[in-house]
Chains A and B, each alone.
Chain A
């Protein structure tokens, strides 16, 4: 149950609260180069008005494809920025989702975003940056999380990178123990079923974690006859559990086969392809919203930088890179110019760089804050004061 191990022993700089400026939310100021990139990016959309017919893009519109590409690049650049932050000694640990952009971004684009049971709930694993970027996560908020600043909106500096939490978007807290999200997802789906608002719950997790009992619990509870739950159960199969290969952990042909045993509609997709991912997620979401029943997707994809910083966080060059592949395809089909694509990368590189500089100046949690939010309203939980 401990996916995160061998934490780095390196100590990063600690800043006294007195040494840091009080500002907590500086706006990013792009240089002229970044601004030009942003401008060019929107111009690209205007210049290339043709809508691809089926073929490699499944009939998706040009605007949607370019938006998808933009978000995938943003997510990748952000994750690579997080790795740089770790390697620069500005963070204690990195774990994240480079390689899951084709899956994660399209998932984030398709959810019914909002707060409460009438919107979709998301119980995500710790490779979910692409999904949240697509939902509107800013780079600086992700950087605040990895640099454990008190300005971090997800945890206030209390948890690792990619351990997001956004109640305003129904994003449940990401946890380090793997697979526990699969049983919590049952609860939000149960409430959504009661509200009958065509909303659904999404749960994501890795292939290795499917060995945990909570994965089986999810299949059992979601599929009870007459009590089926509106839940999109997904597994991101990158063929690795930290350092243990898929073959060392699985006897089933496909993980998706396990869903079949519970009469849950299931499919396996190439989730390195954003178009295939988008169409599959869209179709399964429509099915769930229409029937109120669960659906299962096994998403096969890459793990581009290994498990975490504990395993080096270096690029695994032989893994398929979904962002590069998609970009290549867009260029080959004339949907974006190479120069324009390059500027998108540069724009986000600059945004991430500037964000890191800002976050370095932001306050860190104070020692006395350990007693805050143990109970609602920070009701006293310190027995010394009972």
Chain B
């Protein structure tokens, strides 16, 4: 099975060969490195930029103004913050021009903790991103979804932020991307060799077009007693917890939101109406967390369906993720935090 970095690479190749993507760029995105997570290795239209995040986003906006498709990368989400006014402008350009100037551009950036990345390689951006009207924001948890969401993002005529859970970039999926070759063969085809790469070119598999529609969540575990809504790295943890609790006879329904905005409320709503209990899980900091909006909506629309208080399990509201494991583990939700929230939600008597 492909890992997420390979899946992203293959989606970008599909984009440049079938969807008119002429520019895939960012710091160290082109040869020889092909991205710090190798997600852009071997692409024919990838190129290196100056170390300048504002230049990268501005370049993408200018390309979008011509109507051409591009994918820009900010090397780590931690470094996207100095572009936030440009992101605001990219999101409001269509609106403020009353429909005159669409901005078809994709920006991808690795986010979140989980690799012992210290304060400036661990930031989350999903809550910030949810406050960028005009953008669509997606975040996959599996390689197959990464492939399908990225293709959907490239095709979308609006700006799309593709958040890559960096701790999952080397995690292999459990489902094949349509047309994906066997793992060893895939590696030989599209992974750049160690050492001299000057004569290497990728041999791309004949993948089929596969799209995960933006705005469509997935139920990854069916259950009856509590709904858990998550995305990205923590989604896999929630799946694991649901499987383990099932051994104890607890039935947990897990929803992978996949799109943060515009989000799939109908899937969430149906599940909460069924279970009466909900826990929202993500690793961005807890104050004005995106999940708080979902809790607000839950209480407004489903108040009389609820059997327990909705809960948010999120990162602590501290300035950063400290390097020592004690600090990181105390800052972002751990397995036991999620289990505890699920157990308490199920145990609560209305």
Chain A contact residues, CB within 8 Å of chain B: 1, 116-117, 121, 123, 152-159, 163, 165-167, 172-173, 175, 177, 180, 182-191, 194, 201, 213-214, 217, 220-221, 224, 372-381, 383, 386
Contacts and interface: CB of A to CB of B under 8 A. Distances in A.
Contacts of A121: 62, 65-66
Contacts of A213: 54
A186 B62 contact: yes
B63 A191 contact: yes
B53 to A, nearest CB: 9
B89 interface: yes
Contact of B61 (A158, A187, A194, A378): A187
A187 B266 contact: no
B59 interface: yes
Contacts of B49: 221
A383 B55 contact: no
Contacts of A381: 133-134, 262
A372 B95 CA distance: 7
Given A154-B97, A188-B66, A191-B62, 12 more contacts: A116-B66, A159-B96, A183-B57, A183-B58, A183-B59, A183-B61, A186-B62, A372-B99, A375-B94, A375-B157, A376-B99, A380-B262
Interface residues of B, number: 46
Most buried by A among B64, B94, B263: B94
A379 B95 CA distance: 12
Contacts of A376: 94, 99, 102, 157-158
Given A183-B54, A183-B57, A376-B157, A172 B101 contact: yes
Nearest to A371: B95
14 contacts: A121-B66, A156-B98, A163-B96, A173-B93, A173-B96, A180-B86, A187-B62, A188-B62, A191-B66, A221-B59, A372-B98, A375-B94, A386-B215, A386-B266
B58 A180 contact: yes
A156 to B, nearest CB: 3
Contacts of B23: 190
Q: Which 3 pairs between the two chains have the least Cβ-Cβ distance?
A: A187-B62, A183-B58, A156-B98
A71 to B, nearest CB: 24
Given A177-B89, A194-B22, A224-B50, A187 B63 contact: yes
A123 B65 CA distance: 11
B100 A154 contact: yes
Given A386-B262, A386-B264, A221 B94 contact: no
Nearest to B262: A386
B340 interface: no
Contacts of A188: 62-63, 65-66
A8 B133 CA distance: 27
A158 B96 contact: yes
A201 B66 CA distance: 12
A219 to B, nearest CB: 10
A180 to B, nearest CB: 6
A184 B85 contact: no
A133 B304 CA distance: 61
B68 interface: yes
Contacts of A180: 58, 85-86, 89
Given A190-B59, A383-B262, A217 B66 contact: no
B85 A1 contact: yes
Given A188-B66, A381-B262, A383-B263, A155 B54 contact: no
A386 B265 contact: yes
B157 to A, nearest CB: 4
Contacts of B63: 187-188, 190-191
A123 B93 CA distance: 13
B297 interface: yes
B110 to A, nearest CB: 22
Interface in B61-77: 61-68
A171 to B, nearest CB: 10
A184 B62 contact: yes
A41 to B, nearest CB: 32
A175 B297 CA distance: 34
Contacts of A167: 97, 100-101
Contact of B59 (A163, A187, A372): A187
Contacts of A201: 62
A138 B266 CA distance: 48
A121 B157 CA distance: 21
Given A173-B93, A372-B99, A186 B59 contact: yes
A241 B119 CA distance: 37
Given A186-B58, A186-B59, A187-B60, A155 B96 contact: yes
A173 B101 contact: yes
A177 B95 CA distance: 16
